[in-house]
Structure 1
Amino acid sequence: MLVGGFAESTYVQGKIRRELPELRLVVPEDAGLAVLKGAVIYGHNPSLVVSRIMPYTYGMGGLETFDPKTHFGRDKINKGGRWYVYDWFKIFVKVNEHINVNHRVTHSVSPSHPMLVCAVYRTVLLGPKFTTDKECELLGQLVMRVREDIPLQDQIYDVTFMFGDTELLVTVKDTTTGRENRLTLNCLK
C-alpha cells in the first residue's frame, strides 16, 4: 500500500512497479491525506495503537563482571572484592522486539558512587556489548544522590523503562525508601 505525499505521483508509482514487479501496488483514494488522517485519528484516540515493533535496542550503561577472555584491554574497577568492566550496555528491549504500549522492564542496580547516574542509550544493534560502540547513542541521563547512611554495596535501586506511545519514561527508585526520580525521553528523534 502506497500512501503519503508522493503516493499519487504516477512517476513514483511507475518506478515502484518497475523495481518491484512481484508486488501488487495498492494506492487508496486520497492517498496523500492518509498519513494526515491517521495522525488526526490517533490524536483523538491514542488507545488505537496497542503495540509496536521497536526500531532500536534500548538500555543503560552499567558494570559487568570482568572476564579476561572477552574484556581484554577494557578498563576495570574493583567493587566489593570483585572486578567489573565499565560502559556495559545493559539491554532493556531489543530492536525488532514486539512490545505493548506502556510495557515496563525493570532491572535492579547497586551504586558504585555517591551519585547514581543512569545513562540511557539506544542503538540499531541487536546485541550491543558496550555503550562506547560507535552505533550507540546517548539519549539522556538521570542522576540520583544515593543514601549516605547505608554502605553502597547494600543499596538497591530499581531502574524501570516504560515505553509509551512516543516517549520512554525512565524511573530510578530507591527500594528502601521509595524515593524516585524520573526522566522522560522523546522516542521520535
Structure 2
Amino acid sequence: SLFSSTEVLMAKPEVRGVRFLFLVGGFAESPMLQRAVQRALGRSCRIIIPHDVGLTILKGAVLFGLDPTVVRVRRSPLTYGVGVLNRFVEGRHPRDKLLIKDGREWCTDILDRFVSVDQSVALGEVVRRSYTPARVGQRKIIINIYCSATDDVTYISDPGVRKCGAITLDLPEPLPPTGAVGGAGAAASERREIRATMQFGDTEIKVTAVDVISNRSVKASIDFLSN
C-alpha cells in the first residue's frame, strides 16, 4: 500500500521530472525498507538516504523554527473553501438544495474553493473572494470554512467534507452619505460587499472577512499542517 501510493504520487505530472528522492525518518533506518524502495522507485529516480536518517526530520524542524522562509512553497494537504449560496439554476442544482429567501431562489451548501488539494501555495500567498449578503438589510454574516481530502466536491454536504472553522461578521447599518435623503442607507445595503481572504503562512491559514462599507473585519486561523 505504501509503495502503490508512492508510485501513484510519482506518476503525477507535477512530480514527473523529480530526479532525487530522499528517504527520511526513523523507519527509513530499516535496510529492508531501503532495499524495497530502491527496487520500487530506483529506476525512475535516485534514492538518497542522508546520514543520521532518523534525525533528519528533527533537524529540518529546528531549521524551520530558526528560519521559516526555508520552506517557500507547500502543497496544500486539503481542499479549503467556504459554504455559499448561489442563484438556483433549474436542471443544474438538485431540488433538495433549493432555498427561497425574500422571493429569490438560492442553491444552498455550495463549496466555493479557495485552494485545492495538492495545489502549490507560496508562503504569504493570498486568495481573495467577494460576497454579497443574501438578504437586504442583513445584520450578521457567518462564514463557515470547510476542508476535504479530495477536490471532487461540489457541496459541503458531500462525503468527506468537514467544517474546520467559522467567522462571524456583524454588519452595522450603513450611514447615509452627507446630504443624502431617506433611503440612501437601504440602497447602499443592496450592494453590500464582503471581502474574504485566505493567506497561507508557514504553518497556518489566516482567514479574514471585511465589510467594505464599515471597514469592520474579523479574523481566524486554521492549522495548515494537521487539519
Scaled by the length of structure 2, what TM-score is found? 0.76
Distance (Å, rounded) in 2 between the aligned partners of 1:142 and 1:12: 45
Among the aligned pairs, what percent are the same residue? 31
1:86 aligns with 2:108: yes
Is the radius of gyration larger for structure 1 or structure 2? 2
Q: For structure 1, which segment, 93-102 or 80-89, has the greater mean C-alpha deviation from structure 2 after superposition?
A: 80-89
> Greater share of helix residues, 1 or 2?
2
Mind listing any 5+ residue stretches in structure 2 that lack a counterpart?
1-21, 175-184
Deviation string 1:119-164 (CA, Å, 9 cap, x unpaired) is: 0111122242101111111101101122234445332110111111
Does the 8 A contact of 1:57 with 1:94 survive in 2? yes
In 2: Cα distance, 1:188 partner to 1:2 partner: 20
Deviation at 1:187, TM superposition (A): 1.6
> 1:21 offset after TM fit, Å?
5.6
* Aligned pair partner of 1:124 in 127, 149, 158: 149
1:29 maps to 2:19: no
* 1:169 maps to 2:170: no
| Paired residues of 1:80 and 1:153 also in contact (CA < 8 A) | no
> Does the aligned pair in 1 maintain the 2:128–2:196 contact within 8 Å?
yes
Aligned to 1:159: 196
Q: Take 1:44 and 1:25, find their aligned partners in 2: how far apart are those partners?
A: 28
Q: Does 1:179 align with 2:216?
A: yes
Distance 2:193 2:147 in 1: 24
Per the alignment, residue 126 of structure 2 pairs with 104
| 2-structure distance, mates of 1:5, 1:93 | 32
Partner Cα distance (1:25, 1:69) in 2: 52
Corresponding pairs, count: 189
Instruction: For residue 77 of structure 1, report the CA deviation from its aligned partner.
Output: 2.7
Structure 1 segments of 4+ aligned residues over 6 angstroms from their partners: none
TM norm structure 1: 0.90
